[in-house]
Chain A
């Protein structure tokens, strides 16, 4: 382990030098200083807290409330379907209910709550004190909580979305859904996208950069592997639905016809983009749950996980494969059989990593002496239900069979088996398992068994008959049915047992409420788990000190770990800068690299989230004034937030404990900010790629009317000019970084100014180019696609120009210099992405017509 690092380029400082920032001691004073730095704000200021344990618990509680709300909708729908021809809910209400049930369960419950578990548990599983971007977690949470609540409450005003949770246009287009219901859906999804992308950035950087020293990739708890894959899938997959959403809203608000077949659009474009995300979405929900199961099993099997490497590889291959089988939601759309064969095979292939996981878990049970406690009951329930869901999954992946069961109650049964089996049962196992970690008290074993059996029996008896209901011809999303079709008994059974399932959930809720007073005290590590989270007290700073890790199962295999941790014999037993701190470690080796100072409580994230939510909601409802005020508040909050990053820090090493001194700042690829930007840019690239996909897809799908008749095709002159301008702007940014290293501030400033001018010039040229060609955004989907692509790139250039001005300002104020230059380098990353991508987009728009003709 390198103890001193060549962190500032030239200086190498030995430990013990006068320039090392020392905490006074590692004794009780150190603990006091830690407690002060990590203290929770009092009373209403709790909304300013950003620590992961705090945000994580709020996040999970909010997600669970949405689960209950959407569950009530399901029960009401089951009442309506209990008998043929009932008029308990009218058609409109029913349509809103099933749309909201799906939307809320998927976007406001399943995805957020697994992210929430990761936010809550990952830092302590990885042996660190917090996620690397606490304010980003807080922003994600508050945007989701406020936005989700607004969207859910649309039900009470009868303006809830009513197009089904996957919202196929043209039904959801401006012509057939003129009301704001669909906009509410887009709004809700917008918040989830914000929180999901925030979580993806947070999780990837957190897992790769802030682990305990010595925790190599191979020693990570398996949950971290699962979350890494999940976050990667969010990073790549979520942009597809963001793009689809943007295109839908452009069509609805501005009449840009992407999905309107009469104007050169294609409804299938939505389905491709939506399922390109929507299928991975299922695994985004399942993988974290599988990760949690893999974490819990060893505790109950009293044995190490069988096939750790297999499981990690299985998770990765699921991640990859999941992007190759979105078309299996589109088997009935009349696509050529050959391409369906490919997707059918790919869909079936995913059975292999799934099989590996199931058998690895079973082997773990065989390997040990299982102790049958409530969490293990839920895990066994999960294995049973999920296996059935997976097997019916193979059935629906069989193209011709899917022609029968697609969009019927068979599929309803299938995905409830997959999602409730694959996600809700593990989640309840996790609730029973980790609640003692958070509250310090155990949930009741007796009530837990009741909850499990009611849920297990209720679930199977409600959903197993639905397979037959579907095969006997009942399509999904119908609010009633005729009594002569042979579905009556099946529906009564499903309805009755859905209430049994709900009773199980209710018992859990009762247990959660009562255990705070009467629950048995948990004490340290009640399940004799092998993982690190039980060392943390889960309040404030979590670990007394951060222990070096030498094993995958540290609590089992590193004797004296708890004692050393409590005695402060690990890293960072103190707060050298008197603020919240965490270790940054190498992504592969887990070698300590840096101490980062983490932001503490502050209004920025809460204010930004609230203002964003209020602004978007007001905009959707057409309250322009409020929207503009809220937008301005949000803008100020975001700018203040950015301004407060890249703070002035002591140019010293700091004592990290155990005789190691580490720098407090890094201005290159070692820093978490740099990594965060890279993740964000990968997501951004996926958005741009989705727009490009829209352009190419529409062209190839509608060759007869693309491009529209009488259109003058774009030439190469302007694209070349724009590309050249952008390229020069980028090069100037690179030069600015070099000049800044030599402290040539005037020349650096000049580079910034010229790149702003060039970016502006490029935008102006592009604008006049499109106008000159007579390409209109609303007449034909060709124009809409071109304008969207170039508009996106113009936005990138504008942001790039804004970054140049930002750097210019900070340079002028002395906030950028040759050492403190992370801001400049992160902006440089933006340009390194924007310039080549702009050129590629232009090349495609100018060149593709020639390729086709």
Chain B
């Protein structure tokens, strides 16, 4: 079997085939993830060859004991020094080139976003041209397709790490520091990401989505996101809005035009979110009601209390109001 590279094909196919999924580095959808994937494939093949070489070399003397003494120089200089040295001399510069590529990339009318990690959710705020905080969202990042997006990463409490494998590698969010990261999606779609640095009890339930839209749709979305929430249209929704205010939801959550707080996720568009509780539940009125009534049961230790003192109709009204925030 020796050095015939065809032998490796099924192996590669096995490891790379069918490796899609919403959160897979093996299914790159952006230039950064793609070049890292390319680098990966080169290294997988190289590693497989070296493993094969070592395995064969160590089995030969077991299977066929030799009589004459070994050529020590060949083993030590050839295998021990030359093999790693030559491989690495070729690899390291290439690796660093890839590194520079993935960190570069800026354009003139670039979208810049501040993403802040909280235990256990993400605040997303689009920078206005003057650098101030514009439209805000949480646990979802809408981006235009085909453009490099500049992310500024902050941490509010402990260390988190932002990772969307299909688009780019991860970058840590560290209290007291601001890290920069560039992501780009080459095709529209929804790319899942997850916190990659252990951040406490519910580190597991700290996901988010990158939603890549064509530029026009993105512009529409961004304009909409910058608008204040609509006035509730029905008595039930009005009751829900009143409950939102009376229960003190606004002490933690912002709803543009209703409250300003930033301790919890911005809820101005919560009705259109794909998930609740940073990927804990899907969106929708049923899940909003369940989350509101039992957030501590569903994601113990998160900062949101369970609003279990509400009567049924109140819970429904509040959930309906939140769902109406689109």
Contacts and interface: CB of A to CB of B under 8 A. Distances in A.
Contacts of A332: 161, 169-172, 196-197
A779 interface: no
Interface string A354-369: 1111111011011111
Given A387-B50, A472-B24, A473-B192, A307 B76 contact: yes
B88 A351 contact: yes
Interface string B31-61: 0010110011001001100110011011111
Nearest to B37: A404
B22 interface: yes
B80 to A, nearest CB: 3
Contact of A355 (B35, B80, B202): B80
Interface in B50-97: 50-51, 54-55, 57-62, 65-66, 69-70, 72, 75-76, 78-81, 83-85, 87-88, 91-92, 95-96
Contacts of A310: 76, 80
Interface string A23-35: 0000000000000
Contact of B204 (A262, A348, A384, A479): A479
Contact of A485 (B21, B50, B85): B21
Contact of B159 (A162, A171, A362, A468): A171
A91 B70 contact: no
Given A170-B175, A407-B170, A471-B25, A355 B79 contact: yes
A486 B20 contact: yes
B26 A355 contact: no
A46 interface: no
Nearest to A467: B15
Interface string A464-487: 000110011101111111101111
A170 B199 CA distance: 9
Interface in A112-135: none
B221 interface: no
A473 B175 CA distance: 25
Contacts of A90: 300
B91 A384 contact: no
Contacts of A476: 198
Interface in A259-315: 261-262, 265-268, 301, 306-307, 310
A471 to B, nearest CB: 5
B199 A171 contact: yes
Contact of A399 (B43, B96, B179): B96
A789 interface: no
Contact of B168 (A380, A403, A408, A473): A403
A472 B21 contact: yes
A265 B176 CA distance: 8
Contacts of B76: 306-307, 310, 356, 359-360, 363
A341 B96 contact: yes
Contact of A267 (B72, B87, B159): B159
Contact of A333 (B23, B85, B103, B174): B174
Interface string B1-34: 0000000000000010001111111100000010
B176 A267 contact: yes
B201 interface: yes
A425 to B, nearest CB: 13
Contacts of B85: 352
A400 B169 contact: yes
Contact of B158 (A176, A340, A478): A176
B41 to A, nearest CB: 11
A168 B172 CA distance: 12
Contacts of A91: 201-202, 204, 300-301
Contacts of B200: 171, 176
B204 A395 contact: no
Interface string B146-177: 00000001000111010101001111101111
A477 B196 CA distance: 9
Contacts of A617: none
B102 interface: yes
Nearest to A307: B76
Contacts of B60: 366
A490 to B, nearest CB: 10
B79 A359 contact: yes
Contact of A400 (B36, B70, B83, B300): B36
A404 B36 contact: yes
A401 B66 contact: no
Contacts of B204: 91, 477-481
B82 to A, nearest CB: 9
A484 B196 contact: no
A404 B33 contact: yes
Contact of B39 (A352, A400, A481): A400
A65 interface: no
Contact of B24 (A384, A471, A475): A471
A366 B61 contact: yes
Given A91-B301, A171-B198, A471-B24, A366 B95 contact: no
B143 interface: no
Contacts of B174: 261, 267-268, 333-334
B305 interface: no
B79 to A, nearest CB: 4
B311 to A, nearest CB: 30
B180 interface: yes
B203 A478 contact: yes
A388 B199 CA distance: 30
Interface string A94-126: 010000000000000000000000000000000
Given A348-B91, A359-B79, A307 B22 contact: no
Nearest to A333: B172
B324 interface: no
Contacts of A366: 57, 60-61, 66, 70, 75
A383 interface: yes
B136 interface: no
A564 interface: no
Interface string A312-348: 0000000000000000000011100100110011001
A349 interface: yes
A473 B84 contact: no
A92 interface: yes
B39 A261 contact: no
B43 A398 contact: yes
A391 interface: yes
B246 interface: no
B92 A337 contact: no
Contacts of B88: 348-349, 351-352, 394
Among B15, B57, B170, the most chain A Cβ lie within 10 Å of the Cβ of B170
B211 interface: no
Nearest to A164: B198
B161 A360 contact: no
B169 A337 contact: no
B179 A403 contact: no
Contact of A468 (B19, B47, B50): B19
B213 to A, nearest CB: 22
A392 interface: yes
Given A359-B76, A473-B24, A403 B171 contact: yes
A702 interface: yes
A653 to B, nearest CB: 46
10 contacts: A171-B198, A171-B199, A332-B171, A333-B174, A362-B75, A363-B75, A400-B169, A404-B33, A471-B25, A478-B204
Nearest 6 A-B pairs (CB), nearest first? Answer: A403-B169, A261-B176, A473-B23, A356-B80, A486-B21, A334-B179
Given A354-B84, A387-B54, A398-B91, 13 more contacts: A266-B177, A307-B75, A332-B172, A332-B196, A351-B88, A359-B80, A394-B43, A400-B169, A404-B169, A407-B196, A477-B204, A481-B204, A485-B21
Interface of B: 15, 19-26, 33, 35-36, 39-40, 43, 46-47, 50-51, 54-55, 57-62, 65-66, 69-70, 72, 75-76, 78-81, 83-85, 87-88, 91-92, 95-96, 98-100, 102-103, 119, 153, 157-159, 161, 163, 165, 168-172, 174-177, 179-180, 192, 194-204, 279, 300-301
